[in-house]
Amino acid sequence: MSEERKDKIIQDGVSRRSVLGIGSAALAAAAFGELSAHAQTREGTRKAEGDHSSSNPGQENKPLLAENPHSNTPPPTDQGDVGPIWYSYDLTHKRIQEGGWTHQVTQRELPSSTEIAGVNMRLTAGSFRELHWHTADEWSIMLYGNARVTVLNPDGTILIDDVSKGDLWYFPAGFPHSIQGLGSLAEDRAAVGGQKVQSPIQYTFRMEAMAPTKRSTGGEIRIVDSHNFPVAKNIAAALDIIKPGGLRELHWHPNAPEWQFYMAGKGRMTVFMPVGSARTMDFNANDVGFVPFNAGHYVENTGDTDLVFLEMFKASEVLDFSLNQWIRRLPPEMVTSHLKLDNNAIHTIPAENLEILPR
């Protein structure tokens, strides 16, 4: 690749990922050298978008395309086959009954998501989710309203607790539990035996009320895993709030795939896979995202309000590697050899894992 071509790619690439940081832009420039052998090229895509090659004179679902512009007309850096990384609860069957409804996104909708499935449920005031248990652990967050949860321990003690918006609960596999409309918490606790049968284990957590794990001008992130919620041994989560134009920086997770639920705002995610494959999709509230194990990815707020979403992992803790931090931890000579950056450029890359970068 010529230096002129490489400089042009870096300049143009920053327009797509300007908030990634110079380290990410430079890495993208190096990667484009490998991608040039693929049928789809940056220049070819530009030419196609400049004439009628990318248009569709046939039928289109215009509302759907308007919500997913980067799937309909992918950026030229998208290559190969990544597999589905997007679905929406609003496209699934909604089971409606007196007292509420449920709909779910499972492996049927996202075939690669073999470890986590999601259910979105509404209970009307006074109704309840019948007594039950599962063969898998249950992790849930309250999106609005108030509810009362119960869970029984093998020793006969029981947790009865109230949850509201931003609170979560975790029920281990096989533990019988319920979710119900609210009455008097004190009366319910007294009716089952009071203090002597009260669970010594806390199965609920005030996620939204906790101080952010990390905060910057670009947003904030709250992490809840076995370190601060000990009962959650098999499911870890992060709640991301990204300001307009901000970015969950380019990173990957070494211990589990990532399952996402978008709660508010508009965003865009690109997932990078081996041998130059990449896929970009747009996300809106009530959408589900999926990132394969160890796949590099970023999430950008493309709207004018906060982007709020959950990262979920079938793991005991949230672990990630930051691309920027990796570059800064390497000897500068090694970075220069790989990415053709001078020492001044290298030192503009953030040295820490900032999680969320500003505009």
Could you give the residue numbers annotated as active site? 311
What is the sign of the dihedral through the CA atoms of 156, 160, 163 and 167?
A: negative
DSSP string of 276-290, one letter each residue: G-EEEEEEETTEEEE
- Whole-angstrom Cα distance, residue 78 to residue 63? 23
* Terminal CA-CA length for the chain: 30
User: At 316, is the secondary structure helix, strand, or coil?
Assistant: coil
- Whole-angstrom Cα distance, residue 324 to residue 24? 7
- Whole-angstrom Cα distance, residue 311 to residue 22? 25
E strand residue ranges, 199-316: 204-206, 214-216, 219-224, 236-242, 247-252, 258-264, 266-272, 278-284, 287-291, 296-301, 307-313
Alpha helices in 180-237 (DSSP H): 185-191
In 153-178, which positions are buried (b, 16+ CB within 10 angstroms) versus exposed (e)?
Answer: beeebbbbbebeebbbbbbbeebebb
Sheet holding 258-264, edge to edge: 86-88, 287-291, 258-264, 307-313, 236-242, 219-224, 214-216
Element containing residue 159 per DSSP (H, E): strand 158-164
Element containing residue 322 per DSSP (H, E): strand 321-322
User: At 234, is the secondary structure helix, strand, or coil?
Assistant: coil
**Whose CA is closest to 168, among 194, 205, 214, 131?**
205
